[in-house]
Amino acid sequence: MRLFRTIQLAFKSLLLHKLRSGLTMLGIVFGVFSVIAMLAIGEGASQQAQQQVLSLGATNIIIRSVKPPDDPAASQSSSGGRGGSVQRYGLTRADYKILEETIPNLTGSGLVPVRELNLEARRLGQVTSSRIVGCTADYLEMNHLAIAAGRFISDRDNFDMANTAVLAYGTAMSLFPIDNPIGQSIQIKGRAYRVVGVTQERTASAAVGGSLSGQDFNKDIYIPLSTLQSLLNSGDVFSRILPGSFSAESVIYNQITLQVSSIDVVERTAEVVRETLERTHDKKNDYDVVVPLELLRQAEQLRNIFNIVLGSVAGISLLVGGIGIMNIMLATVTERTREIGIRRALGARQRDIVNQFITETIALSGTGGLIGMAMGLSTPYVFAGGKWILKEFILDSSAAGSEMGKMFLGMEPVIAVWSLPVAFGFSVVTGLVFGVYPARAAAKLDPIEALRHT
């Protein structure tokens, strides 16, 4: 009963000066809001990064061909005496064979080779620039793609070097805006390919650090790997043709993805892969080994650092709010000196005065904490509105389409449930800590002098 009465008196005292109490409370309100909002943005960015890494497969090891700096030793003179050269680099069939024979713990899809080219695809009057992906049947599962209609590239297609193609969702919409693409033909570099399938729409992936560039799977065309290699071997595709000479690049595989049996053996297997390729490539630095599991752990560590930094920055707002509370409560002690003297004369103990003033500061900071929590829960909606304003009125198409723009516009804040009680608890503790000194100052007033105060 006494506690209830103390709380009642605390709120009554605060309501006597509504505007002052409200303004003092704003420091705590925005402090709690900023803590929850910043942690939500950090959590959203972290989850986006982790999801991006997980989409690569936690049990996968990705080996990418990397173009080395221009090196005369890496180029071979072309036939025909035209004075040009072909730069050969990256992963080869020999690499694929030795990895298949020597790497233990392979499971599922095993090794999945990929060759990529950027070419135009045509269908009647429709033309689109696409990434042509030469792959095997295992590419679908390895990259978490789904078929919307028809089927994917089969092992039989690769064995027969069939002129079949599977269109990604965006490519299908560009070439066949009205018609059903299944069974129809498209033209790639003068060859006709029969469409046998269409993949479902998939969100474009952002770049993963400096390890992998972003990919838009909706603009792909998938054809059998053997078919694409036959197209390359025909001499129809060069990277560049110059008057009197030509320059070209020769890459057998752009990427080979290994799938191992367990997360426990990923890093050990990656070391074996690195050691194997070091011997076969003689330190040419024309490949890169990416381990999604390592990237995932780095993303988790970055999340922890991000949360600490953002939480610390937001915590400064709470500190400022606490200083504001102390300032107002000290002023309140001066205003209520006569009231304190009367209460002491009527028998109130120093402890009662301390409890009264501390209860008022906790009521002030606690109410601000609750309002701040309510505002913090609105962070996803506020962020969505801010993204819409940026996209519609501020960012141009090039900025919105950049890797940074895609990452920001594709991110969704995620409220960290643990941040709600933590932020509220900090607001109450802030009020308690910064209310102790004014409360003790009020309790130590001499009753006689307090009664003389006017």
Question: Is 58 domain-assigned?
Answer: no
Q: Which helix (H) or strand (E) segment is 298 a member of? A: helix 292-335
Phi, psi for 257 (deg, rounded to 5): -110, 130
Please, are residues 197 and 140 in contact by the beta-carbon 8 Å criterion?
Answer: no
The CA R_g of the chain, rounded to the nearest whole Å, is 33
Residue 353 sits in the same domain as residue 412: yes
Q: Which range in 116-130, 151-165, 314-328, 342-356 is most confidently predicted, on average pLDDT?
A: 151-165
Please, are residues 432 and 361 in contact by the beta-carbon 8 Å criterion?
Answer: yes
**Is residue 181's pLDDT more than 60?**
yes
> Residue 53's closest CA among 147, 141, 144, 114?
144
Please, are residues 256 and 63 in contact by the beta-carbon 8 Å criterion?
Answer: yes
Residue 159 confidence (pLDDT) = 92
**Is residue 344's pLDDT more than 60?**
yes
Q: How many residues comprise the chain?
A: 454
Considering only residues 340 and 156, tell me which one the structure prediction assigns the higher pLDDT. 156
Residue 205 confidence (pLDDT) = 59
For the ranges 35-44, 121-130, 338-347, the lowest mean pLDDT is seen at 338-347
Give the Cα separation of 3 and 362 in Å (integer).
Answer: 13
Angle, nearest 10°, between helix axes 379-389 and 18-55?
Answer: 70
User: Mean pLDDT score of the chain, rounded to an integer?
Assistant: 79
Question: Is 104 domain-assigned?
Answer: yes
pLDDT digits (tens, 9 = 90+) for 8-46: 777 777 777 788 888 888 888 888 888 888 888 878 877
Residue 404 confidence (pLDDT) = 55
**Is residue 355's pLDDT more than 60?**
yes
Task: Provide the residue range defining the domain that includes 137.
Answer: 67-285
Q: How many domains, in total, are found in the chain? A: 2
Residue 268 sits in the same domain as residue 135: yes
pLDDT digits (tens, 9 = 90+) for 365-419: 889 889 999 998 988 888 887 767 766 666 555 555 555 555 556 677 888 888 8
Residue 70 confidence (pLDDT) = 61
Residue 193 confidence (pLDDT) = 94
pLDDT digits (tens, 9 = 90+) for 197-252: 999 987 665 555 555 555 778 889 999 999 988 877 654 444 444 444 455 667 88
Residue 172 sits in the same domain as residue 263: yes
Query: Mean pLDDT throughout 303-325?
Result: 77
Residue 213 confidence (pLDDT) = 57
**Pairing mode, if any, of strands 245-250 and 85-88?**
parallel
Residue 242 sits in the same domain as residue 318: no
Cβ contacts of 249 within 8 Å, gap of 6 or more? 67, 86, 87, 88, 89, 239
Q: Which of 285, 314, 331 is the last residue of a domain?
A: 285
Residue 81 sits in the same domain as residue 195: yes
Q: Which helix (H) or strand (E) segment is 271 a member of? A: helix 266-281
Query: Mean pLDDT throughout 146-154?
Result: 93
**Is residue 73's pLDDT more than 90?**
no
Q: Which range in 149-153, 318-322, 404-408 is most confidently predicted, on average pLDDT?
A: 149-153
Q: Which of 230, 264, 285 is the last residue of a domain?
A: 285
